[in-house]
Amino acid sequence: MAEFDVYVTRRIPEAGLEVLRRELGGFSINSLDRALSRAELIENCRGRDGVLCLLTDRFDREVLTAMASRCRVISNCAAGTDNIAVDDAAAMGIAVTNTPGVLTETTADLAWALLLAAARRIGEAERFVRAGRFVGWDPMLMLGTDVHSKTLGIVGAGRIGAAVGRRASGFSMRILYCDERPSAELDAMGAERCGLDDLLARADFVSLHVPLTGKTRRMINRDRIARMKSGAVLVNTSRGQVVDEAALADALRGGHLAAAGLDVYEEEPKIHPALLPLENVVLAPHIGSASRETRERMAVMAADNLAAVLKGRHTLNLVRPAAGAPGAL
Ligand code: DGY
């Protein structure tokens, strides 16, 4: 008989489930190959001691209230926790944990994949070849923009932003970054810290790495897009709601921006209809952390976090302790 009643909202890599078996003696899991509806989430999470969830599960005040009488921890298998009303959870006695660090390099790789693909028109070129339209080398075919020796603007200088900056040295790029706090790692690379508007006006490539908060929602709005350097490329692997997609589509269609590479969307999984017909935007299905190794590490970390809170052990990945718990405000 399992000591704790734990629910996993969707299949995760086996290594994570193994931790739950070993640490907690078992768990219940959503056996459907899809995210749960809101009603299903409430029904399945009610009466549990802990829940291991994904960024597609939205825990707002109403969902949390339904779980609060028993639940002690929600372990998000993601670094971002904008899908959880973290303050409400803490006030209801539910700790929230996440999986930072383990996905840093993999997400930075994807940001670079999008940056290069957008600059060198890889998506468009691939569609062209598959459509049988490649009839021979052409001096004017698919001319993109150089990446090397250009200026990279990093918005949000946390772990992933710094990892994106590290990769830029191989491309001899100048780095600008903007963040409320200086980044020792980026500073050591010779990067220049500046304000957002300054960065947007000077960077050839802008890569977004901010968490979604009240401050960053629609941070890249129509006005800010207009301030971006003409011919610049925008890359977003953070959260879709940081960018005004309609304004971005207008800037891409009108030619103010050369291209964009997007992994995340305002109303995921919906893609703004104005983006879909555009050749100069590379669209990925939120796969920033999607390597086998990283998803396994995230699953193990999420399971470890869940077990640690339930067993009263220390975890470094507490986004917000439950009110009244050690470390709570
Ligand atoms: C996260 O962890 O926040 C990522 O978006 C998942 O890929």
In tens, the pLDDT along 14-32 reads 999 999 999 999 999 999 9
**Does one domain contain both 72 and 94?**
yes
Q: How far apart are CA 218 and CA 13, in angstroms?
A: 33
Q: Which atom of ligand 1 is nearest to the CA of 76?
A: 2
Distance 79 CA to ligand 1 centre (A): 5
- Total count of residues recorded for the chain: 329
Do 275 and 312 fall into the same domain? Answer: no
Judgement on whether residues 88 and 142 belong to the same structural domain of the protein: no
Q: Is residue 140 domain-shared with residue 186, that is, in the same domain? A: yes
Locate tokens 């603007």: which residue?
Answer: 153
What is the rounded CA–CA span in Å between residue 135 and residue 128? 10
Q: Give the β-pairing of 232-236 and 205-208.
A: parallel
Q: Closest ligand 1 atom, CA of 286? A: 7
pLDDT per residue as tens digits for the range 1-13? 788 999 999 999 9
Provide the number of structural domains found in the chain: 2
Q: Is residue 326 part of a domain?
A: no
Residue 27's domain is classified under what CATH number? Answer: 3.40.50.720
Asked if residue 315 and residue 242 are part of one domain, the reply reads no
274 within a domain of the structure (yes/no): yes
Look up the domain containing 131 and give its range: 104-283
Contacts of 41 (CB under 8 A, 6+ apart): 9, 57, 58, 59, 63
The answer, yes or no, to whether any atom of ligand 1 lies below 6 A from the CB of 103, is: yes
Asked if 303 and 80 count as a contact pair (C-beta separation under 8 A), the reply is no
Count Cα atoms within 13 angstroms, Cβ side, for 117: 22
Task: Tell the residue nearest (CA) to atom 7 of ligand 1.
Answer: 289
Same domain, 202 and 94: no
Q: Which tokens sit at 273?
A: 């209809």
Residue 231 near residue 258 (C-beta atoms within 8 A): yes
pLDDT in tens, 239-289: 999 999 999 999 999 999 999 999 999 999 999 999 999 999 999 999 999
Please say whether the beta carbons of 177 and 202 come within 8 A: no
Q: Give me the tens of pLDDT residue by residue for the chain, a chain 329 residues long.
A: 788 999 999 999 999 999 999 999 999 999 998 999 999 999 999 999 999 999 999 999 999 999 999 999 999 999 999 999 999 999 999 999 999 999 999 999 999 999 999 999 999 999 999 999 999 999 999 999 999 999 999 999 999 999 999 999 999 999 999 999 999 999 999 999 999 999 999 999 999 999 999 999 999 999 999 999 999 999 999 999 999 999 999 999 999 999 999 999 999 999 999 999 999 999 999 999 999 999 999 999 999 999 999 999 988 899 988 887 655 54
Nearest ligand 1 atom to alpha carbon 238: 5
Percentages helix, strand, coil for the chain, rounded to the nearest 5?
35, 15, 45
Whose Cα sits closest to atom 4 in ligand 1? Answer: 78
For ligand 1, mutation pick of 12, 55, 208 (most atoms within 8 Å of CB): 55
Does 328 fall in a domain?
A: no
Q: Return d(Cα 28, Cα 149) in angstroms, integer.
A: 52
- For residues 274 and 135, membership in a common domain is answered with yes
CA of 120 to the centre of ligand 1 (A): 26
Query: Parallel, antiparallel, or unpaired for β 151-155 and 192-193?
Result: unpaired
Q: Which residues are catalytic?
A: 239, 268, 286
59 in any annotated domain: yes
pTM of the model: 0.96
CA of 297 to the centre of ligand 1 (A): 13
Co-location of 227 and 174 in the same domain: yes
The answer to whether position 325 is within a domain reads no
Let me know whether 77 and 210 are in one domain.
no
Whether 216 is in a domain gets the answer yes
272 & 183 share domain: yes
**Euclidean distance between CA atoms 87 and 95, whole angstroms:** 10
Q: How far apart are CA 89 and CA 323, in angstroms?
A: 9
